[in-house]
Structure 1
Amino acid sequence: MPIDEPRLSRSPVVRYALLTIGWLSLVLGVIGIFLPVLPTTPFLLLSAACFVRSSRRVYLWLVTHPQLGPWIRDYLDGNGIPLRGKIWAIGLMWAGIGFSCWLVPLLWARLFMLSSAVLVSIYILRQKTRRLD
């Protein structure tokens, strides 16, 4: 085993806890694909981090998954986000936030949603833009 390759946890309790957290964050990440307010990539990265320490088989399934794997691999490889992905992510997020602000009359909730949208937009825009080959 190479030195830089993460090892599975020796404790079965820790492995099961990491497996549980990994699956929960994977579910949240998949839900985040459809809900603009919920981020996808951080949950997928958390899942990968939990799986690499708890189950090599599940980790390999996740990173080689046809739909979910590229999100993780591109981020870990430092390839960035495609321009089209940035536009879609920011556009859908702002549409969802705008609709939510229209529905929710509470000022503090609107301010929270708007400040979250601004911060997520800044984060997305600061990420490297991946060039398509």
Structure 2
Amino acid sequence: MRRVWLGIGWLFVGLAAIGTALPVMPTVPFLLVAAWAFARSSPALREKIRNDPRYGKMVRDWEDNGVVPRFAKVWAISAMTVGVGFSAWVGMALWIVAVQAAICLAVAAFLISRPERVSEAPASGTADPADPDRDR
């Protein structure tokens, strides 16, 4: 199973690398999945992501405190809004646009509910979401 987690981690690192070059593709969400998979297969690779000079702080803030910075919230919600609008504009079936809008609305509500700074996050003592033993 370790190899599966390792493969998932590297797949998402690859997607994150693509995201660094394409402005419409996110980077940090892919790194979050990679760090999660590496937590189950290679703790050293997980720490490498967490200590990355460019993206490590956002990964650590999310894993440790569930923090999503305001600029990330605005960017994500704006991108989802444009995506739903584009789907409607090109004439996709109404039910498809409605399902897409409902999913995006749920994601937006979740993002808005997240703290924007570590100081707003709940007090320590919360479980580390990347800890493979937290559900035991």
Q: What TM-score do you get using the length of structure 2 for normalisation?
A: 0.68
* Residue type of the alignment partner of 2:111: I
Identity across aligned pairs (percent)? 32
Relative to structure 1, the CA distance from residue 65 to residue 75 in structure 2 (aligned partners, 3 Å threshold; closer, same or farther) is same
Aligned to 1:90: 77
Counterpart check, 1:23 vs 2:10 = yes
Post-superposition offset of 1:79:
6.1
Q: 2-side partners of 1:56 and 1:124: how far apart? A: 27
Q: 1-side partners of 2:98 and 2:61: how far apart? A: 32
CA deviation map 1:50-83 (0-9, x unaligned): 2122123322221112333222101122162222
Counterpart check, 1:46 vs 2:33 = yes
Post-superposition offset of 1:32:
6.4
Trace 1:1-133 onto structure 2 (pairs within 5 A): 14-29=1-16, 34-35=23-24, 41=29, 43-78=30-65, 80-130=67-117
CA RMSD, Structure 1 to Structure 2 (Å): 2.8
User: Which runs of at least 4 in structure 1 moved beyond 6 Å after TM superposition?
Assistant: none
Structure 2 unmatched ranges of 5 or more: 120-136
CA deviation map 1:75-112 (0-9, x unaligned): 12216222233222212221122112212421221112
Q: Work out whether residues 81 and 130 of structure 1, in 8 Å CA contact, stay in contact via their aligned partners in 2.
A: yes
